[in-house]
Amino acid sequence: MWHIHVFPHTVFSLESKDWARVAFASAFSIAKESSAFHRNKKMVRRKIPIKKIDDVTARQVTFSKRKSGLFKKARELSLLCDAEIALIVFSPGGKLFDYGSSSMQKVIERHILRSELNLEKLDQSCPTEQVRCNYADLNKEFADRTREMRQLNGEELQGLTLRELQKLEERLDSSLNRVYKAKVENFIKEIGILKEKMIKLPRNEICSVQRHEHEQGQLFDTSLTLGLPFPAGSK
């Protein structure tokens, strides 16, 4: 015999079979109500569209919540997979938030290095249009310079107009002037070097050389005056 208190002052006496039916009906009713509650809850919860939130306050609240979730997921991913992660986030107001699994600077440097290596591989594997244009320009300039050098040597003059020949002549004159100036500069340098060597010679040797030159000059004057042949070794 089972006694069930339904209300504060009401007591029912049931046999075991009746109690089983009541318990089953009660459990079924509870399960049905729970299912209906969750179904209604799902129906009430609506999906938020992904677009900019116009309200400033709501936008700030959403940013704070989602930022926390993002950083939490980053930490979990770093711990679970031993991954190096760096997050840099600026709030709508310009405030900086960052997270680094190890060192933020090391992760960024690694990213920059990898990006540069990828760019080098990309440049080597597939030349860009700019590279092709530069190559064409350099090739044309090389051909023009080669033709000009041959024309300066007197080659490939056929087909040149009178004006072009005059320009070529002017260039040759300019080149000759530069050659002459270079020769004069070299002569001046050589004279300067010889003067330095003469200064470094011992004084007695310089006097001996000057005395010898003076004697040779007197012999030349005497020979010219008397009409005698020059002394041997004077030439």
Per residue in 172-222, pLDDT (tens digit) is 888 888 888 888 888 888 888 887 877 776 666 666 666 666 666 655 555
Domain assignment present for 121: yes
Structure confidence at residue 69 (pLDDT): 92
Please state which of the ranges 95-99, 134-138, 162-166, 173-177 shows the lowest mean pLDDT.
Answer: 134-138
Residue 99 lies inside a defined structural domain of this protein? yes
Give phi and psi for 233, each to the nearest 5.
Answer: 80, 5
Longest dimension (CA), the chain: 176
Is the distance from CB of 234 to CB of 220 less than 8 angstroms? yes
Q: Read off the tokens for 208.
A: 């001996």
Q: Hey, what are 95's tokens?
A: 């405030």
**51 is a domain residue:** no
Rounded to an integer, the average pLDDT of 86-111 is: 83
Domain match, 209 and 178 both: no
Structurally, the chain folds into a number of domains equal to 4
9 lies in the same domain as 34: yes
Can you tell me the distance from the alpha carbon of 97 to that of 70, in angstroms, rounded to the nearest whole number? 11
Q: Is the pLDDT of residue 65 over 60?
A: yes
Give yes or no: residues 119 and 75 share one domain: yes
Residues 92 and 65 in one domain: yes
- Considering the domain boundaries, does residue 223 fall inside one? yes
Are β-strands 96-100 and 86-90 bridged in parallel, bridged antiparallel, or unpaired? antiparallel
Residues 69 and 107 in one domain: yes
Residue 28 domain-assigned?
yes
Q: Is residue 101 part of a domain?
A: yes
| pLDDT band at residue 14 using 50, 70 and 90 as cut-offs | very low
User: Is residue 135 domain-resident?
Assistant: no
The CATH number linked to 76 is 3.40.1810.10
Q: Mean pLDDT across the stretch 31-58?
A: 70
d(CA 117, CA 127): 15
Local confidence band at 9 (pLDDT 50, 70, 90 cut-offs) = very low
Which among 102, 125, 148 is the end of a domain?
125
Of the two residues 28 and 163, the one the predictor is more confident about is 163
Is 111 among the domain residues? yes
* pTM for the predicted model, two decimal places: 0.33
Q: Which domain holds residue 216?
A: 201-235
| DSSP state string for 185-206 | HHHHHHHHHHHHHHHHS-HHHH
CA 220, 225, 229, 231 torsion-angle sign = negative
So what's the pLDDT on residue 80? 92
Give the CA distances from residue 229 to residues 154, 216, 224, 226, in Å, rounded to whole numbers and listed in that order.
50, 13, 8, 9
Report yes or no: 36 and 44 within 8 Å, Cβ to Cβ.
no
Same domain, 72 and 117: yes
Can you tell me whether residue 101 is helix, strand or coil? coil
Q: DSSP E strands: which ranges in the chain?
A: 2-7, 10-14, 86-90, 96-100
Please state the φ and ψ torsions of residue 11, each to the nearest 5 degrees: -130, 130
